[in-house]
Amino acid sequence: MVGVFAHPEAANLAYLGLYALQHRGQESAGIVAAHEGKLQSYRGMGRVAEVFGPKEIAKLPGNQAIGHVRYSTSGGSVLQNTQPILIDYRHGSFAIAHNGNLVNARELRGRLEEQGAIFHTSMDTEVVVHLLARVPGKDAGERLAAALAQVSGAYSLVCLTETRLIGVRDPMGFRPLVLGRLIDSGGFVLASETCALDLMGAEFVRDVAPGEMVIISAEGIESRFDLPPSPRHMCIFEYLYFARPDSVLDGIHVYSARKRIGQVLARLHPIDADLVVPVPDSGVAAAMGYAEASGLPFELGLIRNHYVGRTFIQPAQHGRDFGVRVKLNAQPEILKGKRVVLVDDSIVRGTTSAKIVHLIRSAGAREIHFLSSSPPTIGPCYYGIDTPDRSQLIAAQHSVEEVGKMIGADSLGYLTIDALYEAIGSRSLGFCDACFSNDYPIAVPTLPSSRQLYLLKELR
């Protein structure tokens, strides 16, 4: 998610910001720009470069814009469910982009539908605009705060009106959001991660605080804290997998944290081996940390093809592990006869890990010791990371030894939760680690989410 305020090429900057944030969602992309008191939108399925070209950007003139890349955790992956959502209501126009997942969206939607509301999408985000149309308030900020007081869950939001750019982080601060200043125009930007700032020509100002709303207008920046305060619960998985390594989230540099995690892994799991090999890209920094701390050589035994699209033509006789082989190729020249420490960020279902272990074994490795830089993933996420149901989480169903056997490794080691916080630097900052601890900071939804309903429908 990005927002741009006071730049003559706002949509173009939003596009660049989204480009840098592509890792946060590849299903769809959209931009809304404000021009002469009117909001205009362009959205499409696919990656940023597939959706936007010079023609599309030219259709979005104006000095203010917001943009979104989507990875669905609520609502199906269809054009109708692309963001930002743009609406006209009695107070004017309003566009909203959302990162996170609301846990009481089904209840709110049911109530709103009983009152006659007509929904256009199956996204949880749409309840926010319906609430916005109903609440009192003298300006967009006040109304948005009143609407958000009714929702529960994870949300970082970037919103646009004819005259204002608004950024909000939920009271627990599950998802990141940063404020930056445009170096040439003196305008402002909002972005999910700091890695977007450089490409947008902006410098880092500060993180938006949990529970904070920043309202950027011609008068400057107003900061408000209208939402009920709550202890901070930043998502720990952002640091392990989701965020880009060159980002700094709430003061913690992701790449350095991942390297420290690898160093701690080396202390927890000393292994008599010949090589440390990462699963690229997500395991690279942790594997470097492991190699540094253990003194074992770091080698790229797996090479990743960076140009794999979402679909490819699969021959009928394609053999085992084709999907993984398209992305990763094992190098026998490096691996043959070697005892390998293989480092990846996480094991979720276990299917990818099993295929990767098989690839490395086929390339001649003598032993494979798999290390996960996350603790065992035992709980699904309800706050914006797409983890499957508990029944599909291999570590929720099996012991470490069993998982090791199932993925075909000679041994398997995980990071522990305590060691994770040692590497991150401070537990007291406040994190959500429900996926590793089953300790959910907000009651999990009792009704199935619209995404679960959609997936069930797809299955039928």
- Residues within the interface to ligand AMP (CB under 6 A): 241, 279, 282, 344-353, 385-387
Identity of the residue, 275 or 347, whose beta carbon is nearer to ligand AMP in the bound complex: 347
Residue number, 158 or 328, with CB nearest to ligand AMP: 328
CB 320, min distance to ligand AMP, A: 15
Nearest 5°: phi and psi at 292? -60, -45
- Residue 91 Cβ vs ligand AMP, minimum distance, rounded to whole Å: 37
DSSP state letter for 168:
E
- CA quadruple 243, 247, 250, 254: dihedral positive or negative? positive
State the nearest-atom distance from the C-beta of 372 to ligand AMP, in Å.
Answer: 8
In the complex, minimum distance from the CB of residue 283 to ligand AMP, in angstroms, rounded to a whole number: 7
> What Cα–Cα distance (Å) separates residue 88 from each residue in 99, 130, 161, 162, 178?
22, 11, 10, 11, 27
Is-contact 1 67, C-beta < 8 A?
A: yes
Q: Which is nearer to ligand AMP, 4 or 286 (CB)?
A: 286
Neighbours of 61 (CB within 10 A): 17
Nearer to ligand AMP among residue 211 and residue 283 (C-beta): 283
Would you tell me the crossing angle of helices 450-459 and 105-114 to the nearest 10 degrees? 90
Mapped onto helix, strand or coil, the DSSP state of residue 179 is strand
Of the pair 24, 260, the CB lying nearest ligand AMP is at: 24
Instruction: Please state the closest distance from residue 405 (CB atom) to ligand AMP, in A.
Output: 15
Is the CB of 351 or the CB of 411 nearer to ligand AMP? 351
How many CB atoms lie under 10 A from the CB of residue 406? Answer: 18
Residue 24 DSSP code: G
CA angle (182, 6, 198) in 5-degree steps: 25
Minimum distance of ligand AMP from residue 316's CB (angstroms):
24
**Cβ distance to ligand AMP smaller for residue 335 or 403:** 403
Minimum distance, C-beta of residue 272 to ligand AMP, in the bound complex (Å): 25
Q: Which residues of 289-318 are buried (b: 16+ CB within 10 A; e: fewer)?
A: bbbebbebebbebbeeeeeeeeeeeeeeee
Token pair for 18: 């989204």
Can you tell me the distance from the alpha carbon of 327 to that of 280, in angstroms, rounded to the nearest whole number? 10
Q: Is 2 exposed, middle or buried (0-12, 13-18, 19+ CB in 10 A)?
A: buried
Q: How far is the CB of 112 from ligand AMP (least distance, A)?
A: 29
Closer of 304 and 349 to ligand AMP (Cβ): 349
Write down the least CB distance from residue 374 to ligand AMP, Å.
8
Q: Nearer Cβ to ligand AMP, position 71 or 204?
A: 71
What is the closest distance, in whole angstroms, from the C-beta atom of residue 105 to ligand AMP in the complex?
19
- DSSP assigned state of 307: T
Are 54 and 100 contacting, i.e. CB atoms less than 8 angstroms apart? no
Distance CA 384, CA 101 (A): 5
Paired residues of 99 in beta bridges: 156
Rounded Cα–Cα distance for residues 104 and 128 (Å): 11
Output 86 or 406, the one with its CB closest to ligand AMP. Answer: 406
CB of residue 435 to ligand AMP, shortest distance in Å: 9
Which CB atom, from 24 or from 143, has the smaller least distance to ligand AMP?
A: 24
Distance CA 356, CA 354 (A): 6
**First CA to last CA distance, the chain:** 33
